[in-house]
Structure 1
């Protein structure tokens, strides 16, 4: 089976899975489950590519295992964070805007759109899993594992620090500016992007793998300019009085030391 055919099967599989999740969301009247299933979608594609590959290398098993660790952790975290809180405000606003048509429009604007983005971002997984050469690990593989570990650490630690901060009633309405959040306003988003640059490095270790560079670039763009930093900060500026001062002293995405006010 060619790489192109495997990619097409992957796209069809993830669109089918997204459709099933959409049907469940209609029954639950909660489109937020799209976010819960985001990480699991990558896990599904990674192991599908392993199954469809003509042969599996140690790199293939490593890539699939790392993405499983990342994807399951992310989905469990989002489920725990959202459980019992109703539909995410973003989807509630979309539901109010579309009215009765939201139930079917959400298939295209939420579930299939996310599935298509997921499939594109996951292209480095396809390349890294299917490649038979080089059979041995390279320096690029090592770089990929390091980037993945750093990214996952930023996500896990950042999410844990934020969860503890929110659990304290006295912190309501205030800004978390300690721990990793002292050096970047979005350590979890930075970690997510770094994970995918790590996956790209492992794909780049194989012939032609460098061509998938647009996949991590797209993920980084989405996190920085579309669904991540920009979208979230629009609401935080209005809900947290100290957030503008936090913006003035703390880098938005890439970690660095806080700026000293003049």
Structure 2
């Protein structure tokens, strides 16, 4: 397989950075006007979709059409589903407690602090995490095993994420479940099935960029960063700290895997938590 076109790659990288920045600046303007910075969580998924569309458009004539279209479409589907889900989930609610606490600790102008620490930071992460997409759309040569394997992993991840989100939404919509811990369906096999889905989605998209060892090496940072955010960053760590004192959560944690799905432990089994538990609050 021939090498990537450096000029085309540079253009896609630059345009993707500008696109992610534009989406986040638009979200910043809306969030500031409404006084609700939780809008950035909607912009997170939308920014990935926008980057994929721009990369697909600019890669015309450079990358294989099957690969570039499949990878861009997969990213758009994931990003728009996530953005829509978060928008519907947050409708009618006030500010996200995470952002309220962050801005309460801000030194100086809280609006400028939000711009730097919330929007621009997430825009930079969108660009970094989406590197496999930016590379994959430019890969020449016919699609091979890495593309199909990556799309298969992506599909499993999207399924876990969508089903987990749907099960949780239905559980919370039932007044009889108020104050209870969700421990049914996928949530009986993993405390964070939607985050496990995110994990698979981005490792799958990374595989689509692995048709050459150069692209595999240069984009490896992306799924590693996403995994770190989910496991040790603003995902699992914050969500589990928030849930720690909920009645029944300790028992749920003891019997349920924190990340990789598996059958729940029996009550008599000792609890072992390896700490590999992602969760989704985005960054």
State the alpha-carbon separation in 1 of the partners of residues 159 and 206 from structure 2.
Answer: 18
Contact residue 94 and residue 102 of structure 1 kept, 8 A: no
Of the three residues 191, 194, 198, the one matched with 2:200 is 194
Residue 242 of structure 1: aligned partner: 248
Matched, 1:168 2:174: yes
Kindly state the Cα deviation for residue 206 of structure 1 after the two structures are TM-superposed: 4.0
CA contact (8 A) 1:186 1:252 kept: yes
Note the alpha carbon deviations across 1:63-110, whole angstroms, 9 max, x for none. Answer: 111111111111000000001011111111123222772111111000
Mapped pair 1:10 → 2:19: no
Decide whether aligned partners of structure 1 residues 241 and 50 sit closer, same or farther in structure 2, where only a CA change above 3 A counts. Answer: same
Q: CA deviation at 1:16?
A: 2.7
Alignment match, 1:144: 150
Counterpart for residue 121 of structure 1: 129
Aligned residues: 259
| Structure 1 residue 147, shift from structure 2 partner | 0.5
CA distance in 2, matches of 1:99, 1:28: 21
1:11-37 deviations in Å (ceiling 9; x for gaps): 123123212221221111110110011
Gaps of 5+ in 2: 1-6, 269-283
Q: Would the aligned equivalents of 2:8 and 2:59 in 1 still touch at CA under 8 Å?
A: no
Structure 1 residue ranges without an equivalent (≥5):
none
State the 1:261 CA deviation.
2.9
Q: What CA distance in whole angstroms lies between the structure 1 residues aligned with 2:107 and 2:131?
A: 35
SS at match of 1:30: coil
Q: Is 2:92 the counterpart of 1:110?
A: no
Residue from 168, 174, 184 that aligns with 1:178: 184
Q: Is the CA contact 1:36–1:78 (under 8 Å) kept in the aligned structure 2?
A: yes
1:97-155 per-residue CA deviation (whole Å, 9 max, x = no partner) reads 2277211111100000000011000000011001112x2x2111111111111000001
Aligned alpha-carbon RMSD (Å): 1.4
TM-score by length of 2: 0.88
1:221 paired with 2:221, answer no
Measured against aligned partners, the alpha-carbon deviations of 1:171-217 in whole angstroms (never above 9, x if no partner) come to 11111111000110000000011001110111112452211111011
Q: Which shows bigger deviation, 4-13 or 151-160?
A: 4-13
Query: Structure 1 or 2: larger helix share?
Result: 1
User: Which consecutive segments of 4 or more residues in structure 1 shift more than 4 A?
Assistant: none
Normalised by the length of structure 1, the TM-score is 0.95
Task: Give distance in 2, aligned partners of 1:227 and 1:102.
Answer: 20
User: Bigger shift: 118-127 or 100-109?
Assistant: 100-109
Aligned to 1:35: 41
| Partners of 1:58 and 1:103 in 2: CA distance | 43
